[in-house]
Amino acid sequence: MEELLMHTKGYEVLRNPFLNKGTGFTLSERTALGLTGTLPSQVQTIDEQAEQAYQQFQSKTTPLEKRIFLMTLFNENITLFYHLMAQHVTEFMPIVYDPVVADSIEQYNEIFTNPQNATFLSVDRPEDIKESLMNAADGRDIKLVVVTDAEGILGMGDWGVNGVDIAVGKLMVYTAASGIDPANVLPISIDAGTNNQTLLANKRYLGNKHVRIAGDAYLEFIDQFVTAEQELFPESLLHWEDFGRANAQVILDKYKNKSATFNDDIQGTGMIVLAGVFGALNISKERLIDQTFVTFGAGTAGMGIVNQIFTELQEAGLSVEEAKKHFYLVDKQGLLFDDMSDLTVAQKPFARTRDEFSHAEKLTTLSAVVKEIKPTVLIGTSTQPGTFTEEIVKEMATHTARPIIFPLSNPTKLAEATAENLIQWTDGKALVATGIPASNVEYKGVTYHIGQGNNALIYPGLGFGLVVSTAKLLTQKTISAAIHALGGLVDSDQAGAAVLPPVSNLTEFSQKIAEVTVQSVLDQDLNREKISDAKQAVRDAKWSANY
């Protein structure tokens, strides 16, 4: 950025959010940059600017207005935006990211503002991919890309071009949490069309007004995108977000052994859930190999979770067959059986056989499955609100001293249960994590802290570590190392302790995860460039939101 600043003058500086300091430019900077007379005479510190901006933020009455204010601030002055976010990370996370990002995606066309330096790639114009990436990068050194095609935005389905805001939000969390330089990142929307009829009928819809292209034509476009991205930014990490169930795993499998790439919904979610389960087991003093898992919603996230825990069980000494026996997958059909014709590739290995049960035909609801299986862990990634009912939760608590229950579907309106209900229905026994932030629950004189079981607690540290280490690939070894770094951070002896560390400590634990990630990459000799000290490398790479 320093170099860019030397070549940019006058209003161009003020209009460039990477360079702009507004009233923070000193008098000598104003002289050197041709800004004399373009700003009022007072020079403000960044803290004075942040205080003023925070007052304005607080004057906004709805969460969406707060978000629009912050996005406008980002468009004007990125350093100030992150300086302010660092001071209010717990308050800003739900505004910049989930759940308010969901409102902004739903109303994207109506509230459209300058789009936070995102890149828009249209499936109708593959010939523009390279030029689009170059225009959006604008000479910056891109080391991290978050890309979405928005077919599966949170649990809300297909949101077409509007989904770009999830890529923007994920990257804002990256910088706030890990300190990756915002000049090194790029949010990308792949506009493959949309099957959302409401959007197609909306005259204001800003994306391609046709149904999604699918099959080979779609995968060919993705391939052209990956090729161009790798050619332009050869050392970058490619993070995939909110792709549809049919494509997410296929894309990951295609590229994971070729370059540094990561699917947040599959891998990030698997990581955070296993870390949360470890946190819960630290509290209950139980072992992973003694748990029985029911996963409700065996889609992208559900199968990412199952596979991560499955791998860990094998690392704990179980055979493949023994480890598989710990999982019961429930989806729309009920318990998944191996004779079903509509299983996904990911579901197949974990489907059960009917002869394991005396009345297999009755296991078509979550309630019937919980009664039959008596799980110790229940995980929700179903997009079906309120489905962890009082009856189901109480049934689970009858058979399990400390039931682990994670309703993870986002945003708020899709959660399988609230933390408050889970604590009340189990008389304080449930060990809970929720996808969106949850307030403390006061119950019978104990304050229960609720961990946020959201991949945002892990992907920033992991991704930053991969970037800092110049990793060629992301391996299961590195994933495991990062999970264990986070899983060991809870204060399990406190009554009402959370299963995951609080978002208020996000920057501290993201740094730890990044350090462990770098060390793991170095240990496997997967770094492109020479690095001698993992911790030092993370410290050196950290960007600070100051002038």
Ligand X SMILES: NC(=O)c1ccc[n+]([C@@H]2O[C@H](COP(=O)([O-])OP(=O)(O)OC[C@H]3O[C@@H](n4cnc5c(N)ncnc54)[C@H](O)[C@@H]3O)[C@@H](O)[C@H]2O)c1
Q: Are 365 and 333 in contact (CB under 8 A)?
A: no
The tokens describing 277, both together, are 């389960």
Name residues contacting Mn ion, limited to 30-69 (CB under 5 A).
none
Q: Are 293 and 352 in contact (CB under 8 A)?
A: no
Q: Catalytic residue, from 97, 205, 328, 448: name it.
A: 97
Q: Please tell me the total number of residues recorded for the chain in this structure.
A: 547
| Rounded Cα gap, residues 547 and 535, in angstroms | 24
**203 catalytic per annotation:** no
Q: Among ligand X, ligand LMR, Mn ion, none, what binds residue 334 when CB lies within 5 to 8 Å by partner kind? A: none
Name residues contacting ligand X, limited to 125-184 (CB under 6 A).
152, 154-155
**97 catalytic per annotation:** yes
- Per-residue x/- marks for Mn ion, 236-255, CB under 5 A? ------x-------------
Q: Catalytic residue, from 21, 66, 170, 512: name it.
A: 170
Residue 509, CA distances (Å) to 435, 479, 521 in order: 18, 15, 18
Residue 405, CA distances (Å) to 148, 265, 369, 378, 449 in order: 29, 19, 15, 5, 14
CB neighbours of residue 318 within 10 Å: 17
The tokens describing 136, both together, are 């959006």
Closer Cβ to ligand LMR, 412 or 470, answer by number:
412
DSSP E strands: which ranges in 49-143? 119-122
**Number of residues lying near ligand LMR (CB under 6 A):** 8
> Which one among 455, 470, 511, 527 touches ligand X, defined by CB under 6 A?
455
> Which one among 247, 455, 519, 520 touches ligand LMR, defined by CB under 6 A?
455
Verify binding: residue 393, ligand LMR, rule CB under 6 A.
no
> Which one among 192, 408, 481, 518 touches ligand X, defined by CB under 6 A?
408
Shortest Cβ contact with ligand LMR: which residue? 98
> Which one among 149, 158, 242, 515 touches ligand LMR, defined by CB under 6 A?
242
> Which one among 191, 265, 312, 416 touches ligand LMR, defined by CB under 6 A?
265
Q: Among ligand LMR, Mn ion, ligand X, none, what binds residue 249 when CB lies within 5 to 8 Å by partner kind? A: none
| Rounded Cα gap, residues 161 and 205, in angstroms | 9
> Which one among 263, 291, 418, 454 touches ligand X, defined by CB under 6 A?
454
| Rounded Cα gap, residues 351 and 336, in angstroms | 5
Verify binding: residue 383, ligand X, rule CB under 6 A.
yes
> Which one among 98, 151, 158, 265 touches Mn ion, defined by CB under 5 A?
265
Compute the least distance from the CB of residue 340 to ligand X, in Å: 12
Verify binding: residue 261, ligand LMR, rule CB under 6 A.
no
Verify binding: residue 151, ligand LMR, rule CB under 6 A.
no
Closer Cβ to Mn ion, 191 or 242, answer by number:
242
Closer Cβ to Mn ion, 272 or 534, answer by number:
272
Verify binding: residue 154, ligand LMR, rule CB under 6 A.
yes
Closer Cβ to ligand X, 14 or 95, answer by number:
95
Verify binding: residue 17, ligand X, rule CB under 6 A.
no
Taking contact as CB under 5 A, which single stretch among the options 84-92, 185-193, 235-243, 374-382 is the one that binds Mn ion?
235-243
Compute the least distance from the CB of residue 408 to ligand LMR, in Å: 7
HEC secondary structure over 288-337: HHHCCEEEECCCHHHHHHHHHHHHHHHHCCCCHHHHHCCEEEEECCEECE
- Cα-Cα-Cα-Cα torsion 453, 254, 474, 139, nearest 10 degrees, comes to -100
Helix, strand, coil % in the chain, rounded to nearest 5 = 50, 10, 40
Q: Give DSSP secondary structure letters for 2-51.
A: HHHHHH--THHHHH-TTT--GGGS-HHHHHHTT-TTSS-S----HHHHHH
Q: Among ligand LMR, Mn ion, ligand X, none, what binds residue 245 when CB lies within 5 to 8 Å by partner kind? A: ligand X
- Per-residue x/- marks for ligand X, 237-276, CB under 6 A? --------x-------------------x---x--x----
Q: Are 190 and 145 in contact (CB under 8 A)?
A: no
Closer Cβ to ligand LMR, 98 or 158, answer by number:
98
Among candidate residues 466, 294, 443, the one with its CA nearest the CA of residue 380:
294
- Per-residue x/- marks for ligand LMR, 86-105, CB under 6 A? ------------x-------
- For β-strands 144-148 and 185-191, DSSP reports them as parallel
Compute the least distance from the CB of residue 116 to ligand LMR, in Å: 16
Angle at 415 between CA 61 and CA 375, to 5 degrees: 155
| Rounded Cα gap, residues 236 and 228, in angstroms | 12
Q: Residues 431, 440, 510, 115: is their CA dihedral positive or negative?
A: positive
Among candidate residues 282, 21, 248, 45, the one with its CA nearest the CA of residue 151:
248
Give bridge partners of residue 186 from the DSSP assignment. 145
Residues that bind ligand LMR (CB under 6 A): 98, 154, 242, 264-265, 410, 454-455
Q: Which residues are catalytic?
A: 97, 170
Residues that bind Mn ion (CB under 5 A): 242, 265
Residues that bind ligand X (CB under 6 A): 152, 154-155, 245, 265, 269, 272, 296-302, 330-332, 381-384, 408-410, 414, 435, 453-455
